[in-house]
Amino acid sequence: MTVTVVGGGLAGCEAALQLAQRGHEVRLLEMRPVRNTEAHQTGDLGELVCTNSFKSEGPENAHGQLKREMRALGSVLLRSADQSRVAAGSALAVDRSLFSQAMTAAVEAEARVRVVRGECTELPEGPAIIATGPLTSDALSGAIQTVLGDGGLAFFDAIAPIVHRDSVDESVVFEAGRFDEDSDYLNCPMNEEEYVAFIDALNSGQAYEGHDWETVPYFEGCLPVEVMASRGLDTLRFGPMKPIGLTDPRTGDRPWAVVQLRREDRAGQMWNMVGFQTRLRVGEQRRIFAMIPGLADAEFLRVGSIHRNSYLNFPERLSSYGAPASRPDVIFAGQLTGVEGYTESAASGILAGINLARLLDGEDAIVPPATTMIGGLFQYLREAKPGHFQPMNSNWGLVEPLQERIKGKKQRRQMLAARAQEHFLAWMGGHGLRAVS
């Protein structure tokens, strides 16, 4: 039976090759160059729409670990990157034209994959993978919404930074919910002087200017923190930074303002800065948010951003491997599922390809354990709170913590990486997965 993969981007190419290498005939449907997106420039498969970097390959880096797991599964993105690599220190960066040409050549060289150019406007009839990315065309978005229902598909993300619990200064922050209702919050208290300086810094911080088509229709309830700051000195103090219902146990008083951190994961490693969605540049976020009492040395697991981005409400509407209940034979993959980034999208495509092949062969879908980077990402997709669900990049906070508490960041990451690799290879072996080339 021929299976359909929709979208010849990073995830779709990975998925198509995984299916083909497991003996399945694939129709890969890519709308470019017949119909373009706002960001792509060519008709090449696997085109990179922005930076030419796939981030670090460092041994104890979260992105480095993701790449090791992808390499073990025979990632075409990484093989193409190796062929088109340019010098970039410990990062894996590529010549973008050579990269997408290598991706296109690798897919076209696979006899079981037939590339068809044209827009897909409905979910395919038979087994399929949908990997149409952050700029999924309008017609297909409409069809996906019909299947997933209202609220199943978002068109913009509004991402607040996430910090690692171990990097928060315990001597400053305090645990409490407003009016003791819910204590799953950490509070960073500010006095008046600190607050005024912070608002000044937000007002002078440099923000990212997007293209016209990326202009975000801001909702009043979800404004970037710097836009709120620009509306007046007290706007944030009466908004997400309101101190109402909170008493600082060290002083016995209500702080002037508070930044609240909300727990993101079961293990309590990842803490989200509530209401701090932002378009500030990454360096500016690190500089300005370090002014928040308790966050001077914060380790940012995710930085804030606001993008044009089509993505599904995975935790609410999809199964553990990414299929809607009404269509278990249709697996969503790539950025559309709520992973964020080139390699994360590609990794999701690899797993979707493996899983659709397994389903077609009468086997169960599988997901790596949460001690691995891909497994940690999928655990987040499954377990994130649907009402707050926002896309996620690879980071060590996603991965199950070590049994013992390791103080040094470098040593902790080395141990996490060694365990992730061991568990990943064991998981592959346990399911008869061999690296494919």
Ligand X SMILES: Cc1cc2nc3c(=O)[nH]c(=O)nc-3n(C[C@H](O)[C@H](O)[C@H](O)COP(=O)(O)OP(=O)(O)OC[C@H]3O[C@@H](n4cnc5c(N)ncnc54)[C@H](O)[C@@H]3O)c2cc1C
Residues near ligand X (CB under 6 A): 6-12, 29-32, 37, 39-40, 49-51, 119-120, 131-137, 140, 334-336, 341-342, 345
Q: CA dihedral defined by 374, 375, 377, 379, rounded to 10 degrees?
A: 170
Report how far residue 356's alpha carbon sits from residue 366's, in angstroms, rounded to the nearest whole number. 10
Question: Given the complex with ligand X, which of 37 and 260 has the nearer CB atom?
Answer: 37
Question: Given the complex with ligand X, which of 66 and 270 has the nearer CB atom?
Answer: 66
For residue 64, the one-letter residue type is: G
- Smallest distance, ligand X to C-beta of residue 81, A: 12
Question: Given the complex with ligand X, which of 131 and 288 has the nearer CB atom?
Answer: 131
Report how far residue 183's alpha carbon sits from residue 245's, in angstroms, rounded to the nearest whole number. 12
- Dihedral of CA 11/222/276/314: which sign? negative
Question: Among 370, 211, 207, which residue's Cα sits nearest to residue 303?
Answer: 207
Number of neighbours of residue 239 by Cβ within 10 angstroms: 16
- Smallest distance, ligand X to C-beta of residue 279, A: 14
Question: Given the complex with ligand X, which of 95 and 119 has the nearer CB atom?
Answer: 119
Return the structure tokens found at 383: 């377990």
Report how far residue 298's alpha carbon sits from residue 168's, in angstroms, rounded to the nearest whole number. 6
Question: Given the complex with ligand X, which of 21 and 136 has the nearer CB atom?
Answer: 136
- Smallest distance, ligand X to C-beta of residue 71, A: 17
| Residue in the structure block whose two tokens are 């706002």 | 38
Report how far residue 62's alpha carbon sits from residue 300's, in angstroms, rounded to the nearest whole number. 12
- Smallest distance, ligand X to C-beta of residue 337, A: 8
Helices (H), 156-222: 192-204
- DSSP per residue, 118-187: S---S--SSSEEE---TT--HHHHHHHHHHH-TTSEEEEEEEPPEEEGGGS-TTT-EE--GGGS---EEE
Return the structure tokens found at 182: 């819910």
- Smallest distance, ligand X to C-beta of residue 135, A: 5
- Smallest distance, ligand X to C-beta of residue 7, A: 3
Question: Given the complex with ligand X, which of 260 and 395 has the nearer CB atom?
Answer: 395
Using an 8 Å Cβ cutoff, are 381 and 334 in contact?
A: no
The Cα-based distances of 175 to 13, 107, 295 in angstroms read: 46, 52, 14
Question: Given the complex with ligand X, which of 10 and 160 has the nearer CB atom?
Answer: 10
Question: Given the complex with ligand X, which of 113 and 336 has the nearer CB atom?
Answer: 336
In sequence order, the 6+-apart residues with CB closer than 8 A to the CB of 350 are 14, 15, 18, 70, 73, 74, 75
Question: Given the complex with ligand X, which of 104 and 345 has the nearer CB atom?
Answer: 345
Report how far residue 375's alpha carbon sits from residue 355's, in angstroms, rounded to the nearest whole number. 14
Pairing of strands 53-56, 300-302: unpaired
Question: Among 335, 418, 333, which residue's Cα sits nearest to residue 367?
Answer: 333
Report how far residue 131's alpha carbon sits from residue 201's, in angstroms, rounded to the nearest whole number. 40
The Cα-based distances of 47 to 123, 295, 342, 437 in angstroms read: 23, 38, 10, 21
Q: Which residue is nearest to ligand X (CB)?
A: 9
- Smallest distance, ligand X to C-beta of residue 18, A: 14
- Smallest distance, ligand X to C-beta of residue 123, A: 10
- Smallest distance, ligand X to C-beta of residue 248, A: 39
Question: Given the complex with ligand X, which of 394 and 421 has the nearer CB atom?
Answer: 394
- Smallest distance, ligand X to C-beta of residue 52, A: 9
